[in-house]
Structure 1
Amino acid sequence: MATVINTSLDRSRRALLRGRVRARPLLRPPWALDEARFVDACTGCGDCIAACPERVLAVGEGALPEFDPSLGECSFCGDCARACGEPAFGLLADAPWTLRAEVGDTCLTRKGVVCSSCRDACGESAITFPVTSAVPSPHVDAGRCTGCGACVGACPAAAIGLHASVEEAVDA
């Protein structure tokens, strides 16, 4: 009988032991299949990591590739998926993922500090700062956001994260 491991529970425990309340979201490379199928198909060979010209893929938990937006932005070139010899990736004609940027409570603007680093880094102009009488806070237009991660590394307060949009959460 095969042993089934609840990886989300295991990741939460490890995060707590490392001093974080929650585990950071697991971000796979673009076009990666859903988590269960990706883990079954991926051998951890690292071909996708080596093929990434942006160098935003890294060896993660279980020696499997993860997208690390703190390293830079994904250009969605598809080199990672093309380099993979296993059935771990979907079709390049499909959307790479439904990750979208979300601004957290540690955003400097919420503390009255003027900052627009995320907007300046966003090539899709998906982050705007609506004019208000106070220090404006960023607004992410989910329709324009590609989830490339450019804003994540640019944020000096580490207030931006990439999260699955509602459509991906429903499909999973």
Structure 2
Amino acid sequence: MTQGINQSRRNLFSRRKTNVIRPPWSKDEQTFTDNCTRCDKCINACDTQIIKRGEGGFPEIDFSQDECTFCKQCVEVCPEPVFDTSATLPWNIVASIKDNCLTEKGVWCQSCKDACDPRAISFTMAVGQVPKPRIDTEACTGCGACVSPCPSDAITLMP
């Protein structure tokens, strides 16, 4: 019982929110939240306006309206040591398709494929069924271009 209470207290004060996506090239969550002053410079610099104020005022990515173009404007404008530009990849996230995809209901939809510039989303044909989406995780950049066009909100980005 005591262990459960201690765990609850720890979670109460924890800054970690597991489903949060920080701007590209962000350092680990602990370093990011320790050094970010929540000045909003990255939010204002974002060309596609996908960086929003999240929980605690920290910047996080919202792909519901647009995608990340990896322009690095958020990185360049930030005065704090929260980004690692030496990293080869901007982040370690890829698209994932949930069970509520329209193709699971027999509806022909390929809006995610049409929005995907790196062509990481393809559709597998099957006799008597609508084509089913497949994501090539090696080709997916995690840009989020496939998220907003999806009419059933079936695409999420995750590590």
What TM-score, normalized to structure 1? 0.82
* 1:99 partner letter: I
Question: Match for 1:97 among 87, 91, 113?
Answer: 91
3-state SS of the aligned residue for 1:151? coil
RMSD across aligned C-alpha pairs, in angstroms? 1.6
What TM-score, normalized to structure 2? 0.88
3-state SS of the aligned residue for 1:109? helix
Question: Match for 2:32 among 38, 43, 48?
Answer: 38
Aligned to 2:106: 112
Aligned to 2:131: 136
The whole-number CA distance in structure 1 between the counterparts of 2:105 and 2:137 is 24
Query: Which structure has more helix as a fraction of its residues?
Result: 1
Aligned to 2:52: 58
Aligned to 2:142: 147
Aligned to 1:86: 80
Aligned to 1:18: none
> Shift of residue 130 of structure 1?
1.1
Q: Is the 8 A contact 1:78 1:92 kept in 2?
A: no
Query: Which structure has more strand as a fraction of its residues?
Result: 2
Percent of counterpart pairs with the same letter?
46
Moved more, 142-151 or 85-94: 85-94
Q: Is the 8 A contact 1:54 1:73 kept in 2?
A: yes
* 1:6 partner letter: S
> Shift of residue 136 of structure 1?
1.3
3-state SS of the aligned residue for 2:113? helix
The whole-number CA distance in structure 1 between the counterparts of 2:15 and 2:34 is 13
Instruction: Report the structure number with the largest CA radius of gyration.
Output: 2
3-state SS of the aligned residue for 2:88? coil
Q: Is the 8 A contact 1:121 1:150 kept in 2?
A: yes
Asked if residue 159 in structure 1 is aligned to residue 133 in structure 2, the reply is no
Unmatched tracts of structure 1, length 5 or more: 12-22, 165-172
The whole-number CA distance in structure 2 between the counterparts of 1:79 and 1:61 is 22
The whole-number CA distance in structure 2 between the counterparts of 1:163 and 1:43 is 25
Equivalent pairs, count: 148
3-state SS of the aligned residue for 1:102? strand
Unmatched tracts of structure 2, length 5 or more: 1-8
The whole-number CA distance in structure 1 between the counterparts of 2:86 and 2:77 is 12
Asked if residue 6 in structure 1 is aligned to residue 1 in structure 2, the reply is no
3-state SS of the aligned residue for 1:130? strand
